[in-house]
Amino acid sequence: MSETRLVSRLFTDERVEKFRRRYVWVNAVAGLLAFVSFALFQGEVLPRSWEGGIAAFQALCLVALIGETLGVYVMARNLKEGWRHTTLDSLALLVGVFMGIILALCSPLIMGVLNEPSTLAAFSYLTQAGLLAFVSARVLRLFSFLTRAVRSPLAAFTGSFVGIILFGTGLLLLPGATVDGLNMSFIDALFMSTSATCVTGLVTKDIGTEFTRFGQLVILTLIQIGGLGIMTFAAFFSLVFGRGHGVRDAAAVGEMLNVDFVGRVGRMIAWILGVTIVSESLGTFALYGHWVDNTGAALPAGEQLYYSAFHSISAFCNAGFSLYGDSMVRFQGNWPVVMSISSLVIVGGLGFMVVLDVFTYRVWAHPMARRIGVLRRHVKNQQLPRLTLQTKMVLVATGVLLLVGIAGFWILEAGNTLKDRSFGDAILISVFQGMTPRTAGFNSVDFTSLHPATLYFTILLMVIGASPGSTGGGLKTTTIVVMVLAVVATLRGRSTEAFKRRIPDSLIRKSLVMLVLALAFINAATLGLMLSESSGAAGGAFGFEKVTFEVVSAFCTVGLSTGITAELTALGKVIIILCMFVGRVGPLTLVLAIGRRGGRRFEYPDETVMIG
């Protein structure tokens, strides 16, 4: 009986795949036309008077996209099998039908809760939401296909970031993305798109005043995609579409996520999205009600929700983008805002593997818990729980760096920006500024007034950055810890060890390569920026330390600035764009993506040289 079901499922899969291959052109045309109409209308290229016609056209495109879902059910000849192949599409369709029924009941034809203009507007929003869901699913399915088609997963990873940056640049160049009268150049649009996708936070235009709501949402979408990595999205949707992962696909995604065991990739991706949704939702809830306008008056309910969601996503993704021109300066004494933003940044910077390891740690099976009589009977046969070496290193390094960052800022700025502050405000500012250099990019004090020693101290924190597998950048905490442990072990004449585990020599070499490549790129970019801005304010009036600060902030995807970003020349902005891209993708990843990794068939004999 089981063999019969297996054969039946194989035939079903073959019919569904054959139907999808034939329907791909309908998907492509309908999705492209729907997106172009949406972008041109929201970007104010098409007049507002066309709203009704565009809504009807988009409804036809949506029907064409839904046709694939319905066709899969017909080809599957079974509701259960159809659901297995179209889980997300079916869920989106059910939600859309439910919302459509509610809209019909509230329309003037039935209950009359909404008038005719409101009903048409709601219908337009519902159609656009449906299009966004179905088009996004098919785009991510395309990325999943490209992942399998490209030989090198690193090349696919790098190419996905380039594609999304150019895509965002085109959207930001639309007239409706910026306020009336603002001339958005291609370089500025490319800069903002790169900064958002690489979750950096450096800006050449003020997001809150120079971008419309459409432009802000484009930036927010780029932040979310860049923070999690578009390859993660593609891999996740490849799983839920029912096609699953082959060993090669899972290994490719595992290489992106730093997951060695192929079988854990699907579970890891689900955890990534789960942790993201929960963290950003909790952050939105915690931040709600604390936002004010330029006069200090509280924003209305709708704006409160929007500001809370925007800053929650920006903080969790370690992006540092803010809807306020002064970032978090006006909230420097607001404990709920500061602690909520700080918590989101820390969780986002720990790394998803670490969060997964901590949340799945079985405390009840710990040797201390086994001494309790009630637990002893239930866990006596269970394996002892343990945290991985990476989790231990990340947690210890994060705690030490937070304490060092807070204490360092407090000591260095005690006689400067913290001089006239109350004790509570000084603590809160030190906590925030000791945490944000770890690739967050928010600031609660004016960085143009910081002491040069503080800027240098911040540069060191930015270089270290967040942890691997997280939304943050920098060299990563584990890279620095491994290098420090290697130095200590060499001085002691022992092998490199941590928490009673030996660290492989290959990992030490990789950490050294990362350090050398990063320092080489930072120095080259600093020299290039000094030359490009030699006659401008950045090269002259601001000095060497602020130019270096800008380069490190861009390369480590931090987003903190001493105020020279908007004043850079076109060449200077291009240099910062390259810094952000290479820093996000990673110098080692970029080198491996564009280089050949073929091995030699032989090795030369060893010979020593003098060093030191």
Overall domain count for the chain:
1
Average pLDDT score over residue span 321-325: 90
Q: What is the pLDDT of residues 439-460, one digit of tens each?
A: 788 888 888 888 889 999 999 9
Grade residue 374 by pLDDT with cuts at 50, 70 and 90.
low
Q: How many CA atoms within 13 Å lie on the side-chain side of 428?
A: 21
Grade residue 521 by pLDDT with cuts at 50, 70 and 90.
very high
**So what's the pLDDT on residue 196?**
93
Let me know if residue 66 belongs to a domain. Answer: yes
What is the full DSSP assignment across 433-491? HHHTTTTT---SS-GGGS-HHHHHHHHHHHHH-S-TTSS--SS-HHHHHHHHHHHHHHH
Question: Which residues form the domain of 143?
Answer: 1-149
Let me know if residue 137 belongs to a domain. Answer: yes
Mean pLDDT, the chain, integer: 81
Q: Of residues 272 and 318, which shows the higher confidence score?
A: 318
Let me know if residue 67 belongs to a domain. Answer: yes
**So what's the pLDDT on residue 352?**
80
Least confident of 383-387, 410-414, 466-470, 548-552: 383-387
Let me know if residue 419 belongs to a domain. Answer: no
Let me know if residue 70 belongs to a domain. Answer: yes
Q: What is the pLDDT of residues 525-582, one digit of tens each?
A: 999 988 887 765 444 556 788 889 999 999 999 988 888 888 888 898 999 999 999 9
Let me know if residue 343 belongs to a domain. Answer: no
Q: Output 14-19 pairs: Cβ under 8 A, ≥24 positions apart.
A: 15/75, 15/76, 16/72, 16/75, 16/76, 16/85, 18/75, 19/71, 19/72, 19/75
Let me know if residue 529 belongs to a domain. Answer: no
The answer, as to whether pTM is greater than 0.75, is yes
Let me know if residue 573 belongs to a domain. Answer: no
Instruction: Kindly tell me if the per-residue pLDDT of 285 is higher than 70.
Output: yes
